[in-house]
Amino acid sequence: MGAARSHERNQVMAVIGEFSTNGNSIVGNVRTLTVAMKARLNPIERVSRDAPDFRVTSGAAEVGAGWNSVSANGETYISLKLDDPSFNAPINAALWPAEKEGDYVLVWSRPNREAA
């Protein structure tokens, strides 16, 4: 799997998937200890400024959405929110371009909790 990128907040990060461009879609796999699924990101027409840029499906089920984003240091990525009734909690992750053109790595990170 590809290398995870450094992050400004010293977060613990894990690569949980690999994806590739396939026509106008992005397809790949999501793998964690409790989730193993094939996923497809299909571009959709945005209906508002906050609407997603992608619909995420696994087979016939819609399992999330993705937004084109830009990091603090100017790198483009796709911010994903994956959710399904079978998940314990939603998965928020970032789909980063890999070294090979058209390939991506899906990176999950747990934000540091601020002291109260």
Q: Of 43, 44, 14, 13, nearest to 27 (Cα)?
A: 43
* Residue 109 contacts residue 7 (beta carbons within 8 Å): yes
The pLDDT of residue 13 = 80
Decide if pLDDT at 10 tops 90.
no
pTM: 0.84
Distance CA 108, CA 91 (A): 8
**Phi, psi (deg, nearest 5) at residue 91:** -110, 115
Q: pLDDT (tens digit, 9 = 90+) per residue, 64-108? A: 999 999 999 999 999 999 999 998 889 999 999 999 999 999 999
Coil/strand/helix, residue 107? strand
Decide if pLDDT at 112 tops 90.
no
Distance CA 59, CA 38 (A): 8
